[in-house]
Chain A
């Protein structure tokens, strides 16, 4: 059984994340790049699932700049068996259409039984890549799963939507995406870090996948404007001396933010 986990490199949410006001692209270097937390959780899940079926191999795959190697290697240190890194200058600023096309081509080239992705990345918050991939691959998708179970020929799980929660299942091959309700990722130990150095690590370019990034025959989404919102500034801060609640009530009513008693 081959499980492919999709991990994305994103700017650290703890840092200052900025967009370049000329290009609209994320300003690399403005904040430390990290593996998206949901991607680490996906690796964790894949390793857990792999332990429950026979002969499973876990490959991590990422489309990210060349510099992402160290972050991808972290997934190998956690226990994944091999890595596929798709890096190409032509992918800078790739829209969702191109991203899905590239990842789908790479997955097809690898062959797979199960693709595990995060439900949404913290930079794009697109939340559409997993279903786009499933469509490219002609496979069913089970997205936003809070729980997952895997057998040799079927994946199942539960998904919470606004209307309720659904129990889902699909025969393999299938694409799933998971939410942060699934367990936190394990920390790589020293043995894992040492072993990671010897694990297969493939790097592919667009040429390897036969994709032309500048193909203009398909419509692409382009950013036409970017602006920075002025940051918020701190307002009034009072220390409660026994009348904090009363003062806050006055603030809220005098600014017509709430309806006061009897009015």
Chain B
């Protein structure tokens, strides 16, 4: 194996239970490409590595370390952590990047402890200075921004999904294969996998340019369809308040806010959402905020660029009619 570039960043590319690269892969590689040479790491079931490495190169990986192990299907993240430790020794990167996803966080966490590295979480962008790779964060729902670095040694950084645009140019495919050493530390057993079907044509909430969200004001799961109708007209992702999620109108994955997804779209439309501080924490960095609420005193109007005091069941149908069919 030839030497790795001295400005390498090791990028953990998550593989879904269905054997595909996660949507975060392109974002992470683009983020890495802006501050150094992105080296991908793929840990996959036997036989899946080559195809995934090609995909990684298309998304901007200058090289990809591939580890194949049948442990990935039966053990929660443990084989990936083992592979990351080995890959980091091989590449000696300036930073290790993972998505701030459920799996990415766990892998980054265990790796950081085992390899004795500092961790920076939920970065929204990356830069480089004389201390090395710097992580930039959006704190308290975007009310503050901060930057962090490691006192020494390469940091482990988790990157918010959807925060970085996919811009990296495709690279030629260069693969480095690595064998996984047996590990004493077993992960939790994966007893069963239930794959969610991605039949929806709608964009992912994370990283969407337009988001239409509905709250308790929609009144029922059936009536929540109005939110989906407007979203589809605008090519938008569907979001929701926690109250709408708690009431069962939509699954938790759609929740925007403090304990849901934090979005930063060009346009955010809030329908029947009061604008509680925890909801605002997930959307107040949007470019333009539009709100429709029948209560003129609702706090959402304090941050809305354009507010309509009115009933969503009257205003939205009229809006849809005025916008007409999308051509």
Chain A residues with a Cβ under 8 A of chain B:
13-14, 17-19, 24, 38, 95-97, 100, 119-120, 122-132, 134-136, 138, 140-144, 156, 159-170, 174, 179-181, 216, 218-229, 231-240, 243-253, 255, 257-263
- B105, B113, B120: which contacts A135 (Cβ < 8 A)? B113
CB of B18 to closest CB in A, whole Å = 6
CB of A256 to closest CB in B, whole Å = 10
Chain B residues with a Cβ under 8 A of chain A:
16-18, 22-23, 76, 78, 100-103, 105-110, 112-114, 116-122, 131, 134, 139-140, 142-153, 155, 158, 185-196, 210, 234, 252-253, 258-259, 266-267, 277-278, 281, 284-285, 288-290, 292, 296, 301-311, 314-327
Across the interface, do B149 and A239 meet the contact criterion of CB distance under 8 Å? no
Find chain B residues with CB under 8 A from A224 CB: 131, 134, 147-149
Q: How far is the CA of A39 from the CA of B16 in the complex (A)?
A: 29
Find chain A residues with CB under 8 A from B190 CB: 166-168
Find chain A residues with CB under 8 A from B151 CB: 216, 219-222
Across the interface, do B113 and A245 meet the contact criterion of CB distance under 8 Å? no
Q: How far is the CA of A249 from the CA of B308 in the complex (A)?
A: 11
Q: How far is the CA of A263 from the CA of B324 in the complex (A)?
A: 10
Across the interface, do B189 and A170 meet the contact criterion of CB distance under 8 Å? yes
Across the interface, do A143 and B102 meet the contact criterion of CB distance under 8 Å? yes
Find chain A residues with CB under 8 A from B210 CB: 257-258
Across the interface, do B304 and A228 meet the contact criterion of CB distance under 8 Å? no
CB of B197 to closest CB in A, whole Å = 9
Across the interface, do A134 and B110 meet the contact criterion of CB distance under 8 Å? yes
Across the interface, do B191 and A96 meet the contact criterion of CB distance under 8 Å? no
Find chain A residues with CB under 8 A from B134 CB: 224
Known A97-B112, A128-B158: A219·B117 in contact at CB below 8 Å: yes
Find chain A residues with CB under 8 A from B140 CB: 17-19, 123
Find chain A residues with CB under 8 A from B318 CB: 243-246, 249
Across the interface, do A248 and B17 meet the contact criterion of CB distance under 8 Å? no
Find chain B residues with CB under 8 A from A129 CB: 109
Across the interface, do B191 and A156 meet the contact criterion of CB distance under 8 Å? yes
- B101, B119, B306: which contacts A97 (Cβ < 8 A)? B119
Interface SS majority for chain A: mixed
Across the interface, do B188 and A160 meet the contact criterion of CB distance under 8 Å? no
| Residue with the greatest number of chain B CB neighbours at <10 A, chosen from A120, A142, A143, A163 | A163
Known A219-B116, A219-B155, A238-B309: A163·B304 in contact at CB below 8 Å: no
CB of B302 to closest CB in A, whole Å = 5
Across the interface, do B311 and A240 meet the contact criterion of CB distance under 8 Å? yes
Q: How far is the CA of A24 from the CA of B148 in the complex (A)?
A: 10
Q: How far is the CA of A129 from the CA of B106 in the complex (A)?
A: 9
Given contacts A161-B102, A164-B17, A216-B151, 14 further A-B contacts (CB under 8 A): A24-B146, A132-B110, A141-B110, A162-B22, A163-B16, A163-B18, A167-B190, A170-B189, A229-B142, A237-B296, A248-B308, A252-B323, A255-B288, A261-B324
CB of B192 to closest CB in A, whole Å = 4
Considering the complex of A and B, which 8 residue pairs feature the smallest CB-CB distances, nearest first?
A245-B318, A261-B324, A240-B310, A249-B322, A163-B16, A131-B109, A235-B305, A245-B319
Across the interface, do B146 and A19 meet the contact criterion of CB distance under 8 Å? yes
> In this complex, what residue of A is CB-closest to B294?
A240
> In this complex, what residue of A is CB-closest to B140?
A17
Across the interface, do B152 and A136 meet the contact criterion of CB distance under 8 Å? no
Known A19-B140, A128-B158: A167·B302 in contact at CB below 8 Å: no
30 A-B residue contacts at CB 8 Å? A17-B143, A38-B259, A95-B119, A97-B113, A119-B102, A122-B258, A124-B121, A126-B119, A127-B105, A128-B109, A132-B110, A132-B112, A135-B110, A135-B113, A140-B186, A165-B193, A166-B76, A166-B193, A166-B194, A169-B188, A170-B188, A216-B151, A219-B151, A219-B155, A224-B148, A233-B303, A237-B309, A244-B318, A245-B318, A246-B322
> In this complex, what residue of A is CB-closest to B322?
A249
> In this complex, what residue of A is CB-closest to B317?
A245
Across the interface, do B118 and A220 meet the contact criterion of CB distance under 8 Å? yes
Across the interface, do B310 and A218 meet the contact criterion of CB distance under 8 Å? no
Across the interface, do A126 and B122 meet the contact criterion of CB distance under 8 Å? yes
> In this complex, what residue of B is CB-closest to A261?
B324
Q: How far is the CA of A224 from the CA of B121 in the complex (A)?
A: 15
Known A163-B18, A232-B303, A236-B305: A222·B290 in contact at CB below 8 Å: no
> In this complex, what residue of A is CB-closest to B150?
A219
Find chain B residues with CB under 8 A from A140 CB: 76, 78, 186-188
Across the interface, do A164 and B195 meet the contact criterion of CB distance under 8 Å? yes
- B18, B109, B116, B258: which contacts A13 (Cβ < 8 A)? B258
Across the interface, do A227 and B144 meet the contact criterion of CB distance under 8 Å? yes
Find chain A residues with CB under 8 A from B22 CB: 162-163
Find chain B residues with CB under 8 A from A13 CB: 258, 277-278, 281
Q: How far is the CA of A226 from the CA of B146 in the complex (A)?
A: 4
CB of A129 to closest CB in B, whole Å = 8
> In this complex, what residue of A is CB-closest to B284?
A232
- A144, A229, A248: which contacts B315 (Cβ < 8 A)? A248
CB of A179 to closest CB in B, whole Å = 8
